[in-house]
Amino acid sequence: AQSVTQPDIHITVSEGASLELRCNYSYGATPYLFWYVQSPGQGLQLLLKYFSGDTLVQGIKGFEAEFKRSQSSFNLRKPSVHWSDAAEYFCAVLFRRAGNNRKLIWGLGTSLAVNP
Amino acid sequence: DVKVTQSSRYLVKRTGEKVFLECVQDMDHENMFWYRQDPGLGLRLIYFSYDVKMKEKGDIPEGYSVSREKKERFSLILESASTNQTSMYLCASSFIFVWGLAGRLSYNEQFFGPGTRLTVL
């Protein structure tokens, strides 16, 4: 079955440290991949997306993500975390289903805390 | 900028009440979605709509209905609210874009509203 896994429920990093949030999916073909961020009490905002082409994609707020087909992964990275990056991060994957239908499946999210 | 607004940020209702959650988007998006978000369960799709008066069930439609009479507005209805419907409700919208040789319509990135935190007592 198609699934999206974010292995880390909670991550705590120090301000200025680097960050990597993991996302793995199970699917035979190349899906469309998204990372969203949800600040406390807010809706979700798109950070970046991968549809095709260069496997390293740049997003907003200094984030980037790399699609690795061999590992079925789309990990989110930031070289230096700011206190304002504390939020919930969601990976989402758009799968193709029978009859050209599409289904967007969400990971359960990773909660990021940033220590000063 | 795309703007998705939801009628209330916080709502408190009593068991058995009929509850309406309204969502409006201003970017002429074809698709609109309703999710609920619960700790440890992530986002779960309740219903979505790809056109006016069209709707499809998501993963957890039981206890909910929807209405889309105008393109910009998508309403979620709890016919008889229950305590297990206490949750954060998120509305989203997106363009349809054509992809693939088959040319079938599909999803694009979704834009979210701020959410409505509903408490049912």
Structural domains of chain B ordered from first start: 4-116 (2.60.40.10)
pLDDT band at B101 (very low <50, low <70, confident <90, very high): very low
What is the spatial distance between Cα B4 and Cα B63, in angstroms, rounded to a whole number? 24
SS3 A72: coil
For residue A96, what are its two tokens? 């193709």
pLDDT of residue B72: 96
What is the spatial distance between Cα A50 and Cα B112, in angstroms, rounded to a whole number? 19
Minimal C-alpha gap between B38 and chain A (Å): 10
Structure confidence by residue, pLDDT tens digits, B69-82: 999 999 999 999 99
Domain with A92 in it? 3-115
What is the spatial distance between Cα A35 and Cα A73, in angstroms, rounded to a whole number? 12
Beta bridge partners, B58, equal none
Name the residue of chain B whose CA is nearest to A94's CA: B107
Q: Which of B21, B43, B50, B56 to mutate to test the interface with A (most CBs of A within 10 A)?
A: B43
Helices (H), chain B: none
Between A102 and A53, where is the model more confident?
A53
CATH code assigned at A68: 2.60.40.10
pLDDT band at A107 (very low <50, low <70, confident <90, very high): very high
- Indicate whether B50 pLDDT > 70: yes
pLDDT of residue A40: 86
What is the number of domains present in chain A? 1
Between B34 and B39, where is the model more confident?
B34
**Please, are residues A20 and A64 in contact by the beta-carbon 8 Å criterion?**
no
Minimal C-alpha gap between B37 and chain A (Å): 10
